[in-house]
Structure 1
Amino acid sequence: MTMVSQQFSYVIGVDTHAKTHTLVALDHLGGKHGTAQTFPTTPPGLKRAQAWIERETTGPVLVAMEGTGSYGAQFCDLLTAAGVRVTETRPPKRGVRRAGKTDPIDAEHAARYALALPMEHLITPRNHAGHHAALTVLLTARAALKKAHSASNNRLTALLRGYGFGLDVRLALTAEQVKVVAAWRAHRNDDVGMVTIRAEAAREAREILSRQAELTANEKGLLKHVKALAPYLLLEHGVGAIVAAQLIVSWSHQGRIRSEAAFARFAGIAPIPASSGNTIRYRLHRGGDRALNTAIWVTTFYRYHHDPATAAYVEKRTKEGKTPKEIQRVLKRYIARHLFRVLDNHTI
């Protein structure tokens, strides 16, 4: 097992913020090299930070950075383009902040955290360029749109259930009901309260229709970029534009996730023993990337109900006495393995 300290002469820890980045350099033995330096996050400031790294170090350099997908994204891309190895580090837990908290302390922690790792445990940042960037932005926008759509739908349902209007809203609102409400106008016999309530209900309904149109356009955008990057994913049962986009964004590129077992762990699908006495069972890891977990669950759900090969497997395991939840756990793990191999056998 090769350690980071054996592979790199220096490790640079970077604590990222909106306005400034703070850098600390450690040699391969853990000794501090020089003093902490802080640079602005403007393009000239990032260039100066890169020049400082080149000036202060010799030999192979690893940059351990917090927030490579947010505050540190531009600096990460700049260093990667220059051929510098960058790894993502996690912020220190509160319980281990014995030295307090300042930007130089956090930068040093990032460097020491990476210095103590085996090479295979380094976290490679996600791809932030081109189609990957477009998919990331569209998925983030989609999550916000779905949240807004759900909130508008709940508010409209509450209004209609609270004030009647002659609609049967005992169950969830249908698309036709939303269209009817969106076309409402003030009634001559409405009192001042009902005029306001009816107008608000119509506004919420129009908001729902607008969000639905935006979600449709969002999915078309996702499909365009998925076809450009990994059209073969769309050939898999239960993988549409949204699921494929999440798979691409989470996986990112070859070499980022070292094995299918690591991918399953990353997706929150790694089996963990949960046995007791004569009962032998497993549960799934509850951490990881929950958006990726959801994407794999959508594929599992589709195959569970619509794929003949999966249906035959479910029937076989049911006869063995397995419960539906136990079968679904196994299916999720199998599908995670399969999708990782599909992704890893192609270059994006």
Structure 2
Amino acid sequence: MRRLTGVSVSHSVDCWPGMVRCQYRAARCVSIGACRSIRRHHNSDRPTRPGAGNAMSHRTGRCTGMPRRTTSSTSPAPRARRRRPTGEVILGVDTHRDTHVAAVLSPLGAVFGTEEFPASAAGYRGLLAWAGALGTVRRAGVEGTGSFGAALSRYLLTQGVEVFEVNRPDRTDRRLRGKSDPLDAQNAARAVLSGRARARAKSGDGPVQIARMYKLTKGSAVKARTQAINQLKAVLITADPALREELVGLNNPDLFRACARFADESKNEEGEEETVLQATRTTLRLLAHRIEQLTEQIQDVEHRLARLAERHVPQLLAVVGIGPDTAVTLLITMGDNPERLSSEASFAALCGVSPVERSSGTRQYRRLNRGGDRQANAALHRIVQTRLRVEPRTRDYFERRLKQGKTRREIVRCLKRYAAREVFHLVRRLVGRDEIRSAMAAYYERQVRGDRSPNLEKSGYVLHTTSDPDVFIAEIDTVFDGDGDDVVVSLVQIFRIRDGKIARLRDYFTPELMN
């Protein structure tokens, strides 16, 4: 055995059978070798590469049974050039008010890069261009698609990228790995890659987004008016008895009008001090004017919401228990792209009316769902309570379930689940009709035959339903302006709405069009 002192050894098995390659950074061979691979070099019974001579030279201490290629101790081994990623990549974005941090991962989870971009239109374009240079971006996980990431989500959706809503990272993982913006962006991409993030983001570019803006305005106005009414009545409790007796017995509208008619007594002559009674009357007058202004704003927004609901969801308003405010609330929950909801069960879970298992042992039990959108849950609750008062079918169901031993809370939960199913199918059909109408309008604009162009004012179409709730028939009459006579082209198209997507099944043309 021989031992190498002061020698750094690295060895690897060569392609030649029984041959071991050694590389030395220093070449001093002394007694007692400590490496089994080196001992194999000195074994003359082992075959060597033809023409290579002895494996080890005892005079120089250098390996001669190997190719004359050595690696310097100062220069590192050449590294393979990194190839440009190809194929699909996953985009993850951690959104903030001023900046967004993006990370791109491979389908196997390798991090290709992390970059920060400004939260602006130019920043959104730069983010997608940077991610597209690393591969094809088809899916993206974005944190806060309803707040800081709303504009980015809309841009990505317009570019054909499927956007998924990503919840905040798990607290256990955050304690173990730490917290930083690049890590949050990577976790967002990993959530999409693993399938944990399955909720697709709302598009926010249609009538539902308009309704959401009006609903937001109405909510803040109602809250401010309620606060002003409570303040006015609190002032009356501590007011002068004569003033309180003057206003006692009036209902709210009459009370507000009486307080608004109080004269402004705050401007007194010089030297006179304002009394408590004058300050009380002034406070009541100002609060009454504020209540009237807020009431006018609320009524204006309600009229706008009613027109919006009548224009886009008229069949939803025909259902018992659904008014404009309830219909708008449910539409906001579904979004402008209801195809993101794969089934009625997903919509029920989103509204918080899906049953949750709470069974143990021999007891089989389901409890109420305390999650989901509570505004939509409240809207479904109003529908059920209205039907329990005015609809005989719902009352009969309630009595029958009571005899079966169900509690009122369990029966209401079942009724809310049925209401969610009905609303889901109605909205899906209505959205499909609107998309078909848009497709018909685009069809008119594309129809150009020679020097003639379609006359959209004279053209029209009729949309018919069939026994299948997902199939529609469109009769289209396109009128083209002629030199003297108009040319009418008739077309019948059959559409099917499946999973929120439109499929054109067949076209029927008139003989005039085929000539």
TM over 0.5: yes
Aligned pair in 2 of structure 1 residues 55, 310: CA closer, same or farther (>3 Å)? same
Distance 2:192 2:152 in 1: 18
Deviation at 1:116, TM superposition (A): 0.9
Deviation at 1:276, TM superposition (A): 8.1
Matched-pair contact (CA < 8 Å) for 1:234–1:241: yes
Amino acid at match of 1:157: K
Distance 2:279 2:185 in 1: 56
- Give the aligned length: 334
Deviations 1:264-321 (A, max 9, x none): 1111112234578998754311111111111111211211212232223223334445
Distance 1:294 1:222 in 2: 18
Counterpart selection for 1:286 from 354, 361, 370: 370
More helix by share: 1
Matched-pair contact (CA < 8 Å) for 1:182–1:205: yes
Gaps (5+ residues) in structure 2?
1-86, 267-272, 435-515
2:252 paired with 1:174: yes
Counterpart selection for 1:330 from 414, 434, 448: 414
2:237 paired with 1:157: no
1:317 aligned partner? 401
Amino acid at match of 2:187: H
Amino acid at match of 2:351: A
Deviation at 1:238, TM superposition (A): 1.4
Deviation at 1:177, TM superposition (A): 2.1
2:98 paired with 1:19: yes
Look up the SS of the partner of 2:238 in the other structure. Answer: helix
Matched-pair contact (CA < 8 Å) for 1:69–1:128: no
Aligned pair in 2 of structure 1 residues 95, 313: CA closer, same or farther (>3 Å)? same
2:144 aligned partner? 67
- Rg bigger for which structure? 2
Deviation at 1:162, TM superposition (A): 2.7
Counterpart selection for 2:341 from 253, 257, 260: 257
User: What are the residue-to-residue correspondences of 1:1-348 with 2, within 5 Å?
Assistant: 9-33=88-112, 35-58=113-136, 61-97=138-174, 98-117=176-195, 122-163=198-239, 165-166=244-245, 167-168=247-248, 174-185=252-263, 192-252=275-335, 253-273=337-357, 282-346=366-430, 347=432
Aligned pair in 2 of structure 1 residues 305, 278: CA closer, same or farther (>3 Å)? farther
Amino acid at match of 1:217: D
Aligned pair in 2 of structure 1 residues 191, 21: CA closer, same or farther (>3 Å)? closer
Deviates more, 1:94-103 or 1:206-215: 94-103
Relative contact order higher in (CA < 8 Å, ≥ 6 apart): 1
Gaps (5+ residues) in structure 1?
1-7
Deviation at 1:228, TM superposition (A): 2.9
Q: Normalising to structure 2: TM-score of the pair?
A: 0.60
Identity of counterpart residues, as a percentage?
A: 31
Matched-pair contact (CA < 8 Å) for 2:138–2:160: no
Deviation at 1:25, TM superposition (A): 0.5
Deviation at 1:92, TM superposition (A): 1.2
CA RMSD across the alignment: 2.6
Aligned pair in 2 of structure 1 residues 325, 209: CA closer, same or farther (>3 Å)? farther
Matched-pair contact (CA < 8 Å) for 2:305–2:325: yes
Distance 2:342 2:351 in 1: 13
Amino acid at match of 1:87: F
Q: Normalising to structure 1: TM-score of the pair?
A: 0.87
Deviations 1:20-59 (A, max 9, x none): 11110011111101x211111221121111111211113x
Distance 1:205 1:288 in 2: 38
Distance 1:45 1:325 in 2: 50
Deviation at 1:130, TM superposition (A): 2.9
Amino acid at match of 1:103: D
Deviation at 1:173, TM superposition (A): 5.6
Distance 1:184 1:70 in 2: 44
Matched-pair contact (CA < 8 Å) for 1:157–1:173: no
Amino acid at match of 2:367: R
